[in-house]
Amino acid sequence: MTTAQTPTPAGTTPGNPPLGVAMIGYAFMGKAHSNAWRNVASYFDVPAFEQKVLVGRDPSGVAEAAAKYGWAESATDWRAVIEREDIDIVDICAPGFMHSEIAVAALAAGKHVLVEKPLANTLAEAEAMTTAAQTARSNGVQSMVGFNYRRVPALALARELIAEGRLGAIRHVRAAYLQDWLMDPESPMTWRLNKETAGSGALGDIASHAIDQVLFLLGDQVTEVSGRMHTFTSHRPGPQGLEEVTVDDAAWATLSLASGAIASVEVSRVATGQKNSLKLEIYGGKGSLLFDLESINELGFLDATVPAREQGFRRILVNEPVHPYLEAWWPQGHTLGWEHTFTHEIRDFLVAIASGTQPSPSFEDGLAVQRILAAVEESSAAKSALVQLSNPLSAQPSEGA
């Protein structure tokens, strides 16, 4: 895949119509993706496209959102939308239980597909989606899963430093993604707390991000998993009174990687005082890296090859034009935010479509994460110390930011 620092192709050539985009889902992720679709062409050289239609179940709600978020029209039937000849791209921001059905149908209809993480609610669904993506790819139809933190400039820089050998052989990684929006036991029941609609709780919601970062930063594969999941509040108030919470509030995992590195992953949605804290620590034989999403523009780097008297973590403000994605934005020192990661994601997806190359992360990458999530669940349910990943992907992790 073309990386953030390589020249991008010009917009569509004369005579080529703009790519028609349909987005399914208009809540939290739909709002974030809509912001990216509205703004990406103002900062990056991408193929011409049009925000054709926003799809949702509530006619008045989706119509209001479409007008607010810049979509030309709204609709309630996603099946009819993906059959339209003026739709070339389908962006899936619906809840996880809908991902597989929509993605498989859209790919079969010849539409390029972007789907929010995690790839699916179950391993079987993720495998079916990956098979559909491979078939579609042979016909020039592209697909990508939306792990937007790959597009944080500081994390893209971290990957570059690791790939350049600046840290030497990686020994271990610590990844912690902590939130507190469910700390109050009186917080109401939502679809995210029901296994049938959400698949899992903190595990699929935020551990998927943390695990993807381990794979992305190291370019590695997981071979063994041990895990634990826990639900601290078993029932929450809902329309039917107190309703059972059927997903986890927090999860822990230890991952063994093919390179010999070990990664620990901890996630929680009941970590009081932590709003959206993704912390990553990468320790190698020649150096170390530190990152915290709540300081999104900064990367801590320690170079252990210099004399001990000069060692110490130094702060890199990742806002220079030479840093990933920054050439399109503001003068150095003018910081970027969380929302920019989605603009970068849409940029990379459009560039890949225009160049006919596989976007990253691929559905195969999403499936790799899904297998690890499933192994954590298996280990936790069986109270097993170790689960072997005996069915590794035949394809290597895709390249690029």
Helices (H) and strands (E) in the chain, counts: 11, 17
Domain boundary among 132, 148, 164: 148
pLDDT at 88 over 60: yes
Domain boundary among 128, 148, 168: 148
For 1-51, the pLDDT digits (tens) are 333 333 232 233 446 899 999 999 999 999 999 999 999 999 999 999 999
Residues 208 and 86 grouped into a single domain: no
Please compute, for residue 150, the number of CA atoms within 13 A of its CA located in the half-sphere on the CB side: 32
CATH of the domain at 117: 3.40.50.720
One DSSP character per residue, 16-41 reads: PPPEEEEEE--SHHHHHHHHHHHHHH
For 257-269, the pLDDT digits (tens) are 999 999 999 999 9
Q: What does DSSP assign to residue 383? A: T
To which residue do tokens 């707390």 refer?
193
For 267-288, the pLDDT digits (tens) are 999 999 999 999 999 999 999 9
Helix axes 59-69, 28-43, angle to 10 degrees: 20
Provide the sign of the torsion angle of the four alpha carbons 305, 308, 313, 316, taken in this order: negative
Cis peptide upstream of residue 321 (ω within 30 degrees of 0): no
**Residues 6+ away with beta carbon under 8 Å from 288:** 167, 281, 282, 300, 301, 302, 304, 313
Q: Using an 8 Å Cβ cutoff, are 108 and 132 in contact?
A: yes
Residues 173 and 227 grouped into a single domain: yes
Residues 264 and 321 grouped into a single domain: yes
* Domains: count for the chain: 2
Which amino acid is located at 265 in the chain?
V
CA 73 to chain centre: 27
Q: Is residue 347 part of a domain?
A: no
Residues 133 and 213 grouped into a single domain: no
| Averaged pLDDT, 238-264 | 97
Give, in order, the Cα–Cα distances in Å from 362 to each of 126, 142, 392, 396. 12, 9, 15, 11
Buried b (16+ CB within 10 A) or exposed e, 169-188: ebeebbbbbbbbebbeeeee
For 175-192, the pLDDT digits (tens) are 999 999 999 999 999 999
Kindly report the pTM of this predicted structure: 0.92
Q: Is residue 83 part of a domain?
A: yes
pLDDT at 247 over 80: yes
Q: Is residue 266 part of a domain?
A: yes
Q: Supply the mean pLDDT for the chain.
A: 93
Q: Is residue 14 part of a domain?
A: no
Please compute, for residue 269, the number of CA atoms within 13 A of its CA located in the half-sphere on the CB side: 23
3-state SS, residue 366: helix
Residues 281 and 158 grouped into a single domain: yes
- Kindly provide the residue ranges of all beta strands, DSSP E only, lying in 147-286, ordered along the sequence: 170-178, 222-230, 235-238, 241-244, 250-257, 262-268, 277-284
Residues 89 and 173 grouped into a single domain: no
| Averaged pLDDT, 305-310 | 96
Distance (Å, rounded) from C-alpha 58 to C-alpha 103?
Answer: 21
pLDDT at 393 over 90: no
Residues 266 and 208 grouped into a single domain: yes
Residues 39 and 179 grouped into a single domain: no
For residue 244, the cross-strand partners are: 235
Residues 303 and 183 grouped into a single domain: yes
Q: What is the pLDDT of residue 55?
A: 98
Residues 288 and 305 grouped into a single domain: yes
Q: Using an 8 Å Cβ cutoff, are 221 and 397 in contact?
A: yes
CATH of the domain at 180: 3.30.360.10
Q: Using an 8 Å Cβ cutoff, are 323 and 308 in contact?
A: no
For 114-132, the pLDDT digits (tens) are 999 999 999 999 999 999 9
pLDDT at 164 over 80: yes
* Domain boundaries, position 235: 153-295+297-336+362-388
Residues 272 and 379 grouped into a single domain: yes
Q: Is residue 111 part of a domain?
A: yes
Cis peptide upstream of residue 153 (ω within 30 degrees of 0): no
170-178 and 262-268 beta bridge pairing:
parallel
For 198-234, the pLDDT digits (tens) are 999 999 999 999 999 999 999 999 999 999 999 999 9
pLDDT at 398 over 70: no
- Which of 252-256's residues contact partners 24+ apart within 8 Å by CB, and which partners? 252/227, 252/228, 253/207, 253/211, 253/225, 253/226, 253/227, 253/228, 253/372, 253/376, 253/379, 254/225, 254/226, 254/227, 255/211, 255/214, 255/222, 255/224, 255/225, 255/372, 256/222, 256/223, 256/224, 256/225
Domain boundary among 148, 182, 197: 148
Q: Is residue 318 part of a domain?
A: yes
pLDDT above 70 covers a percentage of the chain that reads: 93
Q: Is residue 134 part of a domain?
A: yes
Distance (Å, rounded) from C-alpha 67 to C-alpha 75?
Answer: 12
Q: Is residue 4 part of a domain?
A: no
Distance (Å, rounded) from C-alpha 224 to C-alpha 188?
Answer: 36
Q: Give the count of beta carbons closer than 10 Å to the beta carbon of residue 391.
A: 9
Q: Give the count of beta carbons closer than 10 Å to the beta carbon of residue 109.
A: 17
Q: What is the pLDDT of residue 10?
A: 29
To which residue do tokens 């709540």 refer?
294
